[in-house]
Amino acid sequence: MVDVAVIGAGQTKFGNHALGLKGMWAESAENAFASIDGDFEPSMVDEAFIGSIAFGGGQIGNTAALLTEHTGMDNIPVRRVENACASSGFAFRDAWMAIKSGQADIVVAGGIEKMNDLTPERKRFWLGVSGDTEWERLAGLTFPGTYALMARRHFHEFGSVHDDLVNISVKNHMHGLDNEYAHIRKDVSFDKAQNGFMVADPLTLYDCCPTSDGASTVILAADHVAKKLSEDPIWVLGSGAGSDHLALHDRPSITQLIASQRAARSAYDQAGIDASDIDMAEVHDCFTIAELMATEDLGFASRGEGGLFAREGRGRRNEGSVTINASGGLKSKGHPLGATGTGQVVEVFKQLRGEVESSRQVRDANTALTHNVGGSGATCAVHVFGRDLK
Amino acid sequence: MSSNQCINWQGNLACIQQDGLVIKSRHTIDGNHVFGPDSDYTTLAVSGLSLLSEESEINTVTVSDNIDKLVLQACGYLVDEDGEWKINCANDSASISISKGVEMDWEVPGEETDRERYDLIKNAWLQEMNAVSQGAFVSEQAYRSGAASRMNFSSQQLGDIRIWPPREMIGDQRPVDAPPLGQSGIIESWTKLSAGGAPSEFSLRAPILGGIGTVFVKMNDGPRGVFLIADDETSEPEIGKVVSFGLRRIYAQDGLIRYGLKALIS
């Protein structure tokens, strides 16, 4: 079966944008096209998958067609992919499958979200649309509340503490400080993160990612094309995905994400590796507790030891066996919902090719992972990448 | 329970008398009983009926117009114009009489509440009635169809497993209807959302209340659920604490007040 590589990847800065959907997509696509080593034209793209929640409702229907027509990909099959915050993680998986199936040679996977042109009231409404509407939202829960329930339970079951989450917050802000694409580029002290404004007890402002505008674009190619168009393709070694009950009350445990575990297992098996082989991971830290649980679900820490992992600083850049969220993660880099998944791939693509700012380069990184979660864990896509095709 | 026993019941003041029961909000302004932040005549009526049904059989009830009849039906009470039990709402007081005969009353002191806060909440509810959803909301049809489950813990059974909220499964996973769950459980987790972190449906009241509290509960019958804590709850939530349940207003939208269960911390 054909192997698949990422041959180009680009994004906008995540944050508050003056540009709208079309402008952000154009900038992101242009950056991605420019990153391709060989002679490439947008007209060479066979198909496109674009992840978005269509936050705010500005362009809910046919979003993908509107965007691709502005970036030289006329008349090709396109569609919007929606799986909450994992939308573009799944768009990437769909693109990978399209090539794997033999139906396409060059496919675009991307994501986009415009979140900051809304009134606070409208924004609060849209921030809750991906949870269980009938039972959780009616009980006053949005995602800060949902993850707060997980955090408090994790503290209770495993003895993790809020300071463990503070460590994650401080680390990710430190990682994102030099990332020119990051939304929040500021050094955050332990003391400051420890004493943030309470959003959903026990989670403070420093445990929550920002709401960001942004777009990201990745170009995937079949091996025979990749070798022609790229001097240094980044190979997709494994693609895994999973799902779980939407509502927390239907899950046997709220201190782990079964969808993440399943997606990771599948991706590792495909790649023929395990967690210990991963040099860097971009994980879905929409809230700091989400990163803590991800380190367990992805196998970097044993069950219940995510707090200890964070406490010992084992995810810090170039300090442990794996760097967690070298980009700054959702916490610092930002979280434009639909754009986050392929935004993680952009970071991995550049890190593995040695193209990020030297101050934040992960040393000797050969194998990387992306972990993109939808909502509170109802969906998850995990991908494993390598400099070499194994 | 013996007659003329007066108790604190689901956060209200209730007195069972020889011919029925009087139930009042515990909140007062200048001695007059006023509704709590998540309560009205409908919630008082359901609270009173649940207490009365521990002593007497409740077959049919007659209610006045300021009580939501569909809510009473969802809670398992048959509403009829010539019902055996008459529910009378006091004109200018948060007080209800439930009796087979004449309307009853009962003088009891309450807890004085802050008038300004009371007015703010009252006005917020009025404003909320005009709120229109932008989508991804619980439609009236969905709300009505889930009412017995949402307000009375109507459940399902699959083998030895009790299921709540109800599921619509297929094949050999299809559950059968089962009696309501017992109204007690244990807190497994909890949070308190700041006004900024609450869903937009609560955006008018959450700032007045200082945020909203939510508990994740394992019911004694097995299922788990997420519930709002009573807005006037005085006990702090804690993992392992026992909770019981009462009916509350949740939010209003499109001119309809949505009711559901609230957790009362023991």
Tokens of A28: 């992101």
Closest by Cα among A112, A126, A17 to A66? A112
Q: Does the annotation count A335 as an active-site position? A: yes
Chain A closest CA to B38's CA: distance in Å?
A: 13
Give chain B's contact residues with A (Cβ, < 8 Å).
133-138, 142, 146, 150, 165, 188-194, 196-203, 212, 214, 216, 223-228, 239, 250-251, 258, 260
Confidence category of residue B136, pLDDT binned at 50, 70, 90:
low
pLDDT of amino acid B1: 45
The mean pLDDT value for B209-237 works out to 96
The mean pLDDT value for A56-78 works out to 92
pLDDT tens readout for residues A9-26:
999 999 999 999 999 999
For chain B, the straight-line distance linking the first and the last C-alpha, in angstroms and rounded, comes to 20
Whether A124 has its CB under 8 Å from any CB of chain B: the answer is yes
Is the model more confident about A123 or about A106?
A106
pLDDT tens readout for residues A178-199:
999 999 999 999 999 999 999 9
pLDDT at A386 over 50: yes
pLDDT of amino acid B3: 55
Q: Helix crossing, A288-297 with A258-271: angle to 10°? A: 50
Distance CA A144, CA B245 (A): 24
Q: Confirm if A348 and A267 have CB atoms less than 8 A apart.
A: no
Residues of chain B found within 8 Å of residue A156, distances taken between Cβ atoms? 189, 239
The catalytic position among A162, A335, A371, A383 is A335
Length of chain A: 390
Q: What is the pTM of this model?
A: 0.96
Whether A198 has its CB under 8 Å from any CB of chain B: the answer is yes
Closest CB to A141: pick one of B135, B214, B239.
B214
pLDDT of amino acid A170: 98
Task: Tell me phi and psi for residue A236, to 5 degrees.
Answer: -85, 105
* A28-32, A97-101, A372-376, A386-390: least confident range: A386-390
Mean pLDDT across chain B? 93
Q: Do B226 and A149 touch (CB under 8 A)?
A: yes
pLDDT of amino acid A189: 98
Share of chain A above pLDDT 90, in %: 91
The catalytic position among A85, A208, A209, A286 is A85
Is the model more confident about B138 or about A34?
A34
Q: Do B200 and A198 touch (CB under 8 A)?
A: no
pLDDT tens readout for residues A343-372:
999 999 999 999 999 999 999 999 999 999
pLDDT of amino acid B39: 98
pLDDT of amino acid A21: 95
Show the domains of chain A with their CATH numbers.
Answer: 4-118+212-234 (3.40.47.10), 139-211+238-384 (3.40.47.10)
pLDDT at A257 over 60: yes
Q: Do A140 and B214 touch (CB under 8 A)?
A: yes
3-class SS at A87?
helix
Residues of chain A found within 8 Å of residue B192, distances taken between Cβ atoms? 198, 200-201
The mean pLDDT value for B30-53 works out to 97
Confidence category of residue B135, pLDDT binned at 50, 70, 90:
low
Helices (H), chain A: 21-34, 63-68, 87-100, 120-127, 143-158, 162-176, 190-194, 223-229, 258-271, 288-297, 306-311, 329-332, 340-352
Q: Do B194 and A137 touch (CB under 8 A)?
A: no
Distance CA A299, CA A294 (A): 8
pLDDT at B42 over 80: yes
Mean pLDDT across chain A? 96
